[in-house]
Amino acid sequence: MKRREWVWGWALILPALTFIFLFTHFPAVMTVINSFWSTPRGRRPARFVGLENYERLINDPTFWKVLTNNLWYALGTIPLSIGLALLMAVFVNRPFRGRALARMSFFTPTVLPLIAVANIWLFFYTPGFGLIDQILGVFGVGATNLLGQGGTALPAIMAVAIWKEAGFFMIFYLAALQAIPPQLSEAARIEGAGRWTIFRRITFPLLMPTTLFVSINAVINAFRLVDHIFILTGGGPDNASSLLLFYIYETSFRYWDTSFGATLTVVLLGLLCLLAIGQFFLFDRKVHYK
């Protein structure tokens, strides 16, 4: 009898397991394996090369360039978009006229398709007659090429990302804010706490689980960005705005160097795992779960 139950259990989860193995675990394992083999080309089959691909990676200046870019990108976008999201959520959580409109307009960037978003910003950034240059033109500043210059290409992409992510994260903060009973801030007010004290000592600590969730998502998103780059800069100029995943895409599918692509992917996966685990440990003591 015991044995039969055991079989039933496995039989029931088998379909789900199959798909997980087929589409998640199998490709992940294959990626790791591929990274130890050379890329098969024409009549030359793949051969085992050991750590050769990793050696190449360490000596690849472009890898280091996109990794640094990615770190700057993460550092620049994550805190800003989370901070902005929190600010917007607190703002639209209070009753005022046109609150629904404000909520909707904050959230709009998120529902727009990525390609549309990138196109809108492409128009903003167009040298000469883009929105930004038209505004700057009023103050007598000449044409700029924000996307085309090494120094400004990455920040220009970061601005788009912040604009898009903040609205998305705001929804999580808004939901969390509405789950906090209003009596808590009323009790704090009676105890003599002003707005800022209530936020610092009550609201913000109670939002910690959301902050953890949002920041893990933000980190993953920061290392997952390709689509904006495609449309806005194509990674240029001179890889100034290329990020890790974009580089992986280019290596694997443009230059068809799949095993080096696999090597880069393994590094990216490792990095993401480390960051996620690190965040859990960092936050764990500060997060109050209900």
Partner 1 sequence: MKSDASRQGREIRIEGIEKCWGETTALSGVDITVPAGSFTALLGPSGCGKSTLLRIVAGLEAPSSGRVRIGGEDMTQRPADKRNLSMVFQSYALFPHLSVADNITFGLRTRRVAKAARQARLERVAALLGLGPYLERKPSELSGGQQQRVALGRAVISERPVCLMDEPLSNLDAKLRHAMRTELRALQRSLGFTMLYVTHDQVEAITMADQVVLINEGRVEQAAPPHALYETPATSFAARFIGTPPMNILPATALGEIGARAEAEAGCALHFGIRPEALRPDPMGMLKMHVTGGEYHGADALVMGRIGGTEALVRVPGKTLPSGGAPMSLAVAPQDIHLFNAATGQRLDRPISAAQALASNDMAQATTVPDLNQI
Let me know how long the chain is.
Answer: 290
Residue closer to partner 1 by CB (options 99, 201) is 201
Residue type, 115: I
Residue closer to partner 1 by CB (options 202, 267) is 202
Residue closer to partner 1 by CB (options 158, 212) is 212
Residue closer to partner 1 by CB (options 5, 191) is 191
- The whole-angstrom separation of Cα 57 and Cα 48 is 17
| Minimum gap (Å) between residue 184 Cβ and partner 1 | 6
Residue 290 engages partner 1 in binding (rule: CB under 8 A): yes
Binding letters toward partner 1, positions 163-202, x by CB under 8 A: ------------------x-xx-xxxxxxxxx--x---xx
What secondary structure does DSSP assign to the chain, as a single string?
Answer: -HHHHHHHHHHHHHHHHHHHIIIIIHHHHHHHHHTTBPPPBTTB---B-TTHHHHHHHT-HHHHHHHHHHHHHHHHHHHHHHHHHHHHHHHHHS--TTHHHHHHHHHHHHHS-HHHHHHHHHHHH-TTTSHHHHHHHHTT-----TTTSHHHHHHHHHHHHHHHHHHHHHHHHHHHHHHS-HHHHHHHHHTT--HHHHIIIIIHHHTHHHHHHHHHHHHHHHTT--HHHHHHTTT-STTTT--HHHHHHIIIIIS--HHHHHHHHHHHHHHHHHHHHHHHHHHHTTPPP-
Q: Which of residues 197-236 bind partner 1 (CB under 8 A)?
A: 197, 201-202, 205-206, 208
Are the CB atoms for 218 and 169 separated by under 8 Å?
Answer: yes
Residue closer to partner 1 by CB (options 54, 283) is 283
| Minimum gap (Å) between residue 214 Cβ and partner 1 | 18
| Minimum gap (Å) between residue 202 Cβ and partner 1 | 6
Residue closer to partner 1 by CB (options 206, 267) is 206
| Minimum gap (Å) between residue 208 Cβ and partner 1 | 8
Determine the size of the site formed for partner 1 (CB under 8 A): 20
Q: Which of residues 47-86 bind partner 1 (CB under 8 A)?
A: none
| Minimum gap (Å) between residue 287 Cβ and partner 1 | 9
Are the CB atoms for 149 and 238 separated by under 8 Å?
Answer: no
Q: Which two tokens stand for residue 220?
A: 């993953």
Residue closer to partner 1 by CB (options 25, 189) is 189
| Minimum gap (Å) between residue 175 Cβ and partner 1 | 17
Sites of contact with partner 1 (CB under 8 A)? 181, 183-184, 186-194, 197, 201-202, 205-206, 208, 288, 290
